[in-house]
Structure 1
């Protein structure tokens, strides 16, 4: 059975494989070049207010999903959240993002408004909002160049393109100290329609052998802006904005030929749905799987058949290994469902190619669900 996925979803999976798996994956140069070309094209589009790309995200046309079953689990009252939303600029970056989970965080007040900034060369860069649901840390970043400082201007078309050499620390400790041995926690810079704003995001690798982030910590954000000599430094207070997240440990397993997939954990928050999977191969390494064009992606559906927006993901595999442990992050569920369904798939490539994707009539990349690997996991009554 085939179905079409958006190119955003496909690019998200590629970035997951290329950028965040510690093992060096021998993807072909043409795939890397195609990914980088697409990233630059979409960055330019975001700068001019056109189509917005967020890793593995559908554009901002869909309605906000509110996880009503766990509403009110934030650290502030609904009245206080409403008051915060009335303050100009508070959380606005999250509302603009194509990420339905961040929109839900904005709507429910599950974030902290900030006024942390640094200024050099007439350009000010500020962290205006931060959300942490125990799965991912998201920071809204905004740039301003006052009219009183006419010399201040970006050397590129958007903040996303201008922001480089990003380094993060937690309570003064390098972020990668929280990664498993040989691993790396790579932050992502996601554009929004306003070219002077972006969302910086990262997640721990606790499900892959790394350390969990503290519930409260100081985030040091060190970076440069193209054309500005001095580096920027923001000290951002972060604290857990959700409580009573739902965690399942289903250990559901499916096999098909030389592929074995196990779902180790499902985590539900008002901002994110996360699944942790363990992929085991026989007769092939993870690197060989990627380079042969047989990489595996996932769709996640609720009990009504609604497919959740994929947001991001990362994976860890030992060099030359045959096991890949990965986290795939999706938009939050509208309510706690009876069950969720995970549907693994392969991308469909053009004939005699492992880098050119086959498209449908609407220009969407085609995928093929893998027989025997679909899993339906009970949620209601299975909470630990």
Structure 2
């Protein structure tokens, strides 16, 4: 039974029973405060697989996605729903107690919570049920860098290994050539969970598009949970900088073309140019720090198709990092590796780029 069905059932069962609303509210919020004191569960860090089109043997693409599982809890919703199944007159009391309907607000990162507070997310509320498991897409947000989808999973039986979701996407009916996912999921109890999936593509997406999401497997359970809904880019609060900085060391040239600060992410776009003899870079990603030395966490990184021009090989790259709370005075970019292997100091220094960020542009 879905969340909305459970609430309706509770209303029907108890709507004619008297209830002390103030007493019920007091007891519910006491439970909420008690839940806040619980220790957060240990975080989980997972590398999620790349989904890419490999039809062209001449194309060299990599797309790697790092997903950090946050440790926030969804206790408030669990308390309200649990109380509703046992308290007389819950239907009337529920009208006076706000039920959290935004997954972004519950378990999203700081950027998604801010987007929710600003009212710039799109409500979806679409549901699909298969194999006795119900999936509800609650909301979506697209800032031009990545697509974030809030969802809820419910089942009459205990859900096992909910962190493993097998899924596919289409943009305007076509599967992107290279895309990756990350995100977070939190159990409310053994039968319900909420989470966020972040989708990134190596190629730019249009301002508006139809988004198709198909989930084929949840844990060990196969099924068909398919959704289709429109998405519109919301970049009203984005701040764009185009430094066009070039740095060369040895046979490698690094170009930083664009930096975009959004409420949900920090996006960097540029190119890597190497001599024909150096077909692969010694570094895979970039470390980004602000003027205070704070490192921005990497969310995703992609290296596009190689273009060969004589002895020169050029590849476009895009990297998405965690958002900044306020614009830094500058950011510093250095070559790095996902495995945190130390690169030679001369390479790091030779390709290091420091970009001043001027707020009044």
1:203 is aligned to 200
Which residue in 2 is equivalent to 1:376?
A: 354
**Residue 115 of structure 2 aligns to a residue in which SS?**
helix
CA contact (8 A) 2:128 2:226 kept: yes
230 and 328 in structure 1: CA distance in 2 versus 1, 3 angstrom threshold: closer
Q: Secondary structure at the match of 2:350?
A: coil
CA 335–20 in structure 1, closer or farther in 2 if over 3 Å, else same: farther
Q: TM-score, normalised by structure 1?
A: 0.62
Is 1:191 the counterpart of 2:184? The answer is: yes
Are 2:237 and 2:263, in contact at CA under 8 Å, matched by a contact in 1?
Answer: no
Q: Which has the higher contact order (CA 8 A, sep 6+)?
A: 1
CA contact under 8 A between 1:118 and 1:126: conserved in structure 2?
yes
Are 1:255 and 2:243 an aligned pair?
Answer: no
Unaligned runs of 5+ in 2: 1-43, 73-96
Residues in 2 aligned to 1:108 and 1:230: alpha-carbon distance in whole angstroms:
36
Contact 2:213–2:228 (CA<8 Å) still a contact in 1? yes
Number of aligned positions between the proteins: 279
The answer to whether the 8 A contact 1:127-1:236 is kept is no
Per-residue Cα deviation, 1:3-31 (whole angstroms, up to 9, x for no partner): xxxxx99x86xx79x666964579xxxxx
Partner of 2:267: 274
Answer yes or no: is the 8 Å Cα contact 1:316–1:324 preserved in 2: yes
Q: 2 CA distance for matches of 1:327 and 1:228? A: 34
Task: Determine the structure 2 residue equivalent to 1:113.
Answer: 123
CA distance in 2 between counterparts of 1:138 and 1:313 reads: 16
2:227 alignment partner in structure 1 = 234
> Match for 1:338 among 329, 338, 342?
329
Q: What residue is the counterpart of 1:5 in the other structure? A: none
Structure with the bigger percentage of strand: 2
Q: What whole-Å deviation, never above 9, does each CA across 1:83-119 have from its counterpart, x for those lacking one?
A: xxx953433356425x443344345444223311101
Does the alignment pair 1:324 with 2:315?
yes
C-alpha distance in structure 1 between counterparts of 2:252 and 2:360, whole Å = 27
Partner of 1:308: 296
Match of 2:161 in 1: 157
1:186 partner SS: strand
For structure 1, the 5+ residue unaligned runs are 1-7, 27-34, 36-53, 62-85, 147-151, 177-183, 348-356, 358-364
Provide the alpha-carbon RMSD of the alignment. Answer: 3.5
SS of residue paired to 2:205: coil
